[in-house]
């Protein structure tokens, strides 16, 4: 068999290399917008960073897509030669380069986490970053949120809260509108509820006197001492008996965490009808012993 001329071999080799190059150019690496890919940080530039995701060209992360964290040192959020997950936000250009975002992936995962937190009713930590007339702005690991004044434990000196870390629960989480509204008071109340039980004796301060009863604050929770639960004797006027700011002891006779309601009673502490009106100091001084006697009866009524 005759061997092919060298020139013929060269032309075939040349054709094969050209064909390979064209095939490489036309190859679809499967990189689509919205896809999460893993890549290794290759190097930094002034306005972004390059990442090797195994494509035809290095992928690019613009400076504003590096991270939700406001760190000035890229090595904290994009360590060189370390493999990380990225979100594709721009498909391949003519050079085969895709645009990536670490920030948007972090935001997506934070919203996913918040959805789970909201469903389970859990609390989380936020840092107060600013103040406006309606409340305070907060940061939740890079997400911006808001706490209305009415949902803060401290409602007067809001400036003193800047820089503080607060425990909060979600009031509203709207991923599409990037809106996060949280509550500190609700989180405090929820945490406090877990420490309460029926028949428990609590001590608190009267914060409001209404025709129907007294509101008593204790350990960040507000309970209602209804006028009918003050004494076994009819009371014509609560302001004639109690004062705002007065410290009082009462027993928990009902708990409704879903509605955030705690019902209190001093009536159950009385040894006789009207004792709270005639000898309130005596009832308060021996409230612990009286509560022990009253507790079994309260538990039987549930």
Q: Domain-by-domain residue ranges, the chain?
A: 36-106, 121-189, 195-300
Range with the lowest mean pLDDT among 122-126, 225-229, 256-260, 266-270?
256-260
Q: How far apart are CA 47 and CA 65, in angstroms?
A: 10
Mean pLDDT of 74-102: 86
What ranges in the chain are assigned the alpha helix state H? 6-26, 74-77, 103-120, 184-193, 275-278, 280-285, 287-300
Angle at 180 between CA 178 and CA 182, to 5 degrees: 180
CB of 207 within 8 A of CB of 242? no
Q: Give the class (CATH, top level) of 195-300.
A: mainly beta
| Residue carrying structure tokens 């997950």 | 85
What is the pLDDT at residue 290?
95
270 CB-side CA count, 13 A: 17
Percentage of residues in the chain having pLDDT higher than 70: 86
Please give the residue that has the higher pLDDT: either 6 or 123: 123
Mean pLDDT of 217-231: 88
* 195-300 has the same fold as 121-189: yes
The answer to whether residue 281 scores a pLDDT higher than 90 is yes
What is the pLDDT at residue 82?
86
Mean pLDDT of 140-163: 89
Architecture of the CATH domain 121-189: Beta Barrel (2.40)
Q: Smallest Cα–Cα separation from 119: which of 167, 165, 173, 192?
A: 173
What is the pLDDT at residue 70?
63
Q: How far apart are CA 174 and CA 111, in angstroms?
A: 9
What is the pLDDT at residue 282?
96
What is the pLDDT at residue 257?
66
Q: How many CB atoms lie within 10 A of CB 240?
A: 8
36-106 — its CATH code? 2.40.50.140
What is the pLDDT at residue 3?
44
Q: How far apart are CA 145 and CA 302, in angstroms?
A: 41
Please give the residue that has the higher pLDDT: either 88 or 27: 88
Please give the residue that has the higher pLDDT: either 190 or 151: 151
Mean pLDDT of 275-291: 95
């Amino acid at each position: 068999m005759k061997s092919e001329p060298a020139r013929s071999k060269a032309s075939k080799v040349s054709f094969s290399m050209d064909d390979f190059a064209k095939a490489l150019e036309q190859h679809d690496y499967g990189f689509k917008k919205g896809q999460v890919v893993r890549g290794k940080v290759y190097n930094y530039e002034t306005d972004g960073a390059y990442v090797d995701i195994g494509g035809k060209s290095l992928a690019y992360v613009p400076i504003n897509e590096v991270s939700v964290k406001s760190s000035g040192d890229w090595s904290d959020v994009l360590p060189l030669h370390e493999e990380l997950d990225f979100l594709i936000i721009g498909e391949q250009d003519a050079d085969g380069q895709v645009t990536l975002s670490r920030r948007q992936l972090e935001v997506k995962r934070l919203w996913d986490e918040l959805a789970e937190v909201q469903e389970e009713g859990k609390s989380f930590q936020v840092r107060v970053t600013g103040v406006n007339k309606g409340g305070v702005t907060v940061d939740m690991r890079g997400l911006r949120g808001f706490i209305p004044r009415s949902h803060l434990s401290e409602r007067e000196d809001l400036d003193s809260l800047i820089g503080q870390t607060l425990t909060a629960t979600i009031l509203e989480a709207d991923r599409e509108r990037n809106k996060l509204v949280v509550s500190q008071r609700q989180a405090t109340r929820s945490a406090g509820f877990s420490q309460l039980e029926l028949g428990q004796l609590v001590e608190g301060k009267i914060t409001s006197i209404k025709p129907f009863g007294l509101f008593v604050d204790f350990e960040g929770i507000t309970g209602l001492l209804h006028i009918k639960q003050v004494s076994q004797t009819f009371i014509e006027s609560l302001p004639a008996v109690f004062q705002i700011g007065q410290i009082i002891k009462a027993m928990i006779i009902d708990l409704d965490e879903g509605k955030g309601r705690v019902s209190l009673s001093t009536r159950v502490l009385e040894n006789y009808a009207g004792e709270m009106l005639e000898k309130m100091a005596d009832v308060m001084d021996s409230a612990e012993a009286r509560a022990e006697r009253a507790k079994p009866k309260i538990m039987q009524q549930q």
